[in-house]
Structure formats: structure tokens, C-alpha cells
A and B are shown apart, each in its own frame.
Chain A
């Protein structure tokens, strides 16, 4: 396991280096923004990675809550399947397609919707019991790191291009900031609550946070349509080489995020194992404790 980790780490480093080379050398210079725009290859992949991790945190939290009762688990499973089926069918109806913003392909939306049941069942199968909660914690922590990168690189990019560091009414900036705030409060809750029930409480907060995201989006969207702001780039078509570089960068970032998550997950696993062993030790003595920690550590290896 350790060897595999090292090999993957080496490969990821190479991949990241290749992505940097593409971003700095191969990708053409933007006609309007000049070389400044190259921060996109750092900013956008971080954002996509962060959103993916927050999405995983949401799925894991829902599943953790659903597992508290068997009947609930069944019900949530059917709801998730229904979301997948109805969502995919709906994106091909002309009425729904009319609602999609220009430039968004229905097939892309359908794939995104399909990701919900796919992730739900994949994670449910791969992360039994308490590991689901560890996954939620890991995803939130790493997600906050990537989201911080987005929030730091955003103003750095905005200053030369828009002339301001921060556009207060802009929908993407503000909703990303709120998302970051919500997940920081999630981490604070986990840090401050050390009872045995932190998991359920944190999962409930994650569900609340995820419900909040669309509302944040709509509230700011209306705000902005009333007070137009200096425009955000985007829309229009992208040079295929730029898109190619962007996607390669994203892949590299995903590999990196996966590695970080993996080691963070293992750390959490070992930490809980140690806590369990300690608790056992204080309860019944050292001999039983060693035995009690076996099931977890076997799977950890």
C-alpha cells in the first residue's frame, strides 16, 4: 500500500509538471487578457475539484444519515434512483431544454444528473459503516483547501483584468465564498464537538449546507440582474488547445486531490483506531484492546 502510494505520488508529480508545461508553454496567449489569463489553469481546476469534493461530502453525509434506519435507507435509495431517471429524461424534453442556459448541452446535464445515483451507490458500496463519515470529513477538509485556492487566485486574476479585486455582486464569487464559509463552519463544528455523536450532527449540517447552495445562488442571481457588474469572462468559444490544457490540468489536480484525500483518510482511520484501542484499554485492559482493534486495522492495510 505504501509503495503504491509512493508510485502514484511520483506519477501525479509528473502529471502536474506536464500540466504546468502545457499551461505556460503550449497554450496560446489570450487575445484580450494576455498572459495573465494563464492563471485559469490553476483557478478553474481547483474550483471544479473543490465542487466535486463538496458534492462527495454531501452524498456521504446523506448516506450516513440514511444508514441510521433501515427503512430510511431504502427510501433514500429509491429517491436517488428516481432523481437519476427523472433527471435524465427531463433534460431531453424540449420544455426543460429551453430553460438551460445557452451553450449548455443536454447530454452534459444528463451526465451530471447521472453522477448523483452513480456516486451514491459507488460510495455506499466502497465505504461501509463509519468510513462513510470519515469520507465526508476528508472530502470537506480537502475541498476547503481547494476552495481557498480558488478564492485566493480569483482576486489575483480579477485585479489586472477587471481592475478590481472583488466584485461584490458577482454570482460566482459570492456563492463560492458562501460555500467556503459553510464548509469552514462544518469543520469548526467537527473540531469543537468531540462527543460520540459528532458524526450525525456534522452530517445534518452538511445536508443543511447543501440545501443552502441553490438558495444562495438564486438570491445573488437576482441581486446581480438588478445591479449589473463588470462582466465576468466566459461564454463564447475557447481555443481547443486552451480547453485541452484546462482538462489536462483538471485531471492532474484530481489525481493530486485523490492522493491528499487518500492519505487524510488513512490518517483518520488510524486516529480512530488508536482512540478505540485507548478506550478499550481503559475499559478492559491491554489484552482485549489489541484484539478489538484487529478488524479495523486489517481493512486499513
Chain B
């Protein structure tokens, strides 16, 4: 347990430091989701009263695509200089590596969301009618759902041709219940028409199920070579 924690923290700190110095993932994600927001603003009339109903979907589409940009870079870094092979032969627990990568992506996507949400509020004149604090659990649980599966599938698609295309192809079908939970939960809170409790429970269940499954299977995936 101790070594798991040590590996997790060490890898996480390393990743964050690398990201802090290069800002590769964060910059590309930010610019990408900014583009999505601008295109949406041109496509729909943002002043319409309808915006409250559609913005839940738009926000999460922007974050979903932006997250894929970051997720694709997760393991690419470790392929250079055969770092991943070194991990494989080392006795360090595989799940430590997985947890560190997932936490790192989680932090990056959360930063992105924190920076992008004000933009959505400005562009779409948003005014939350439901209990606004519930947006936080929906966002956190939804982000974790995306990131935990995304990190796992990114590791899986490492072994495939065209791995950049493979990741969304694998990730999106399995993420559909989570996406329903995020979008419907956000819409429910924004419009205040119904309660978001069910969606929070759904996201929580999804997170627990897939975090467990990823941790159980990651070793097999990492050593599959």
C-alpha cells in the first residue's frame, strides 16, 4: 500500500511539473475548447431563452473533446526513451502509475473547466435557476468518469495503429451513461425544473464501477506485450 502511494505521488508530481514547464496539454485543451465555444456561439443564438436547455450539452461536448486531446498525450510522454518499458520491468505497482495518470488528467481537466465555465456564462448569459452548488459534484464526478475511462483506454490504444483516432472510438460508446448523467444533471440544475440527485447517484455508481474495473484490469493491460 505504501509503495503504491509513493509511486502515485512521485509520478503525479513529475507529470504536474512537466506540465507546468511545458503547458502542452493545458494550452491545447484550452484553445481547443475555446474554439468549440466560439463555433457554438455562431451556430446557435445565445440570447434565446432556450440556451439554458442546450448549454448543458454544449459545455460537456466541449469538455469531452478537450479531454480527449489531453488523454491522447498521457502515455505518449512515457513512450519516448522507453520509459513505459522501464515501468513494466520495475517492481513498482502498476496501479500506482494508473492512479497518478488519472489524477493528473483529472487535475488538468478540472483546471480547464474552471477556466472555461466563466466563458460559457458570459457567452450564453447564463443564470442558474436550480441549486447551483450541485454543479460542483456533477462536474467533479463527471470529469472523473471521463478521465478514469479515458486514461485506461488511452493505455489500451497505445498498442493499436492510429491510436489518436482509436481513443475516442473506444471511449465515447462506453461513456454514454456518464455523458447522459453529466448533461441531464447540468440541464436539470440550470433550468431548476427537476432534481439532479438521480444523476449524481448515477455518476457516482459509474465512477465506482469503472474505477474498480480499471484498477483490476490495468496490470493486465500494462503488461500485455
- Enumerate chain A residues within 8 angstroms of B202, measured Cβ to Cβ: 215, 218-219, 222
B122 at the interface (CB under 8 A from A): no
- Per-position 1/0 for A162-204, Cβ under 8 A of B: 0000000000000000100110110011001111111011001
State whether B173 touches A178 (Cβ < 8 A). yes
State whether A201 touches B177 (Cβ < 8 A). no
- Enumerate chain B residues within 8 angstroms of A193, measured Cβ to Cβ: 157, 159-161, 166
For A201, give its contact among B159, B169, B181, B199 (CB under 8 Å): B159
For B156, give its contact among A68, A194, A205, A211 (CB under 8 Å): A205
State whether A208 touches B149 (Cβ < 8 A). yes
B2 at the interface (CB under 8 A from A): no
Known: A65-B217, A192-B160, A223-B184. A208 touches B174 (CB 8 A): yes
Known: A185-B170, A197-B225, A205-B156. A219 touches B181 (CB 8 A): yes
- Per-position 1/0 for A209-249, Cβ under 8 A of B: 10110011011101100100000000000000000000000
Q: How many residues of B contact A (CB 8 A)?
A: 34
Which residues of A in the span 28-57 have a Cβ within 8 Å of any Cβ on B?
none
Q: How many residues of A contact B (CB 8 A)?
A: 33
- Enumerate chain B residues within 8 angstroms of A68, measured Cβ to Cβ: 220
Q: How far is the CB of B185 from chain A (nearest CB, A)?
A: 10
Known: A65-B217, A215-B206, A222-B202. A178 touches B176 (CB 8 A): yes
**Nearest chain B residue, comparing its CB with the CB of A204:** B217
A207 at the interface (CB under 8 A from B): yes
State whether A211 touches B176 (Cβ < 8 A). no
Which residues of B in the span 186-225 have a Cβ within 8 Å of any Cβ on A?
194, 198-199, 202, 205-206, 209-210, 213, 217, 220-221, 224-225
Chain A residues within CB distance 8 Å of chain B:
65, 68, 178, 181-182, 184-185, 188-189, 192-198, 200-201, 204-205, 207-209, 211-212, 215-216, 218-220, 222-223, 226
Chain B residues within CB distance 8 Å of chain A:
149, 152-153, 156-157, 159-162, 166, 169-170, 172-174, 176-177, 180-181, 184, 194, 198-199, 202, 205-206, 209-210, 213, 217, 220-221, 224-225
Known contacts A178-B176, A189-B166, A211-B213; 18 further A-B pairs (Cβ under 8 A): A181-B172, A181-B173, A182-B174, A189-B157, A192-B160, A192-B161, A192-B162, A193-B166, A196-B225, A197-B159, A205-B153, A205-B156, A207-B217, A208-B213, A216-B177, A218-B177, A220-B180, A222-B199
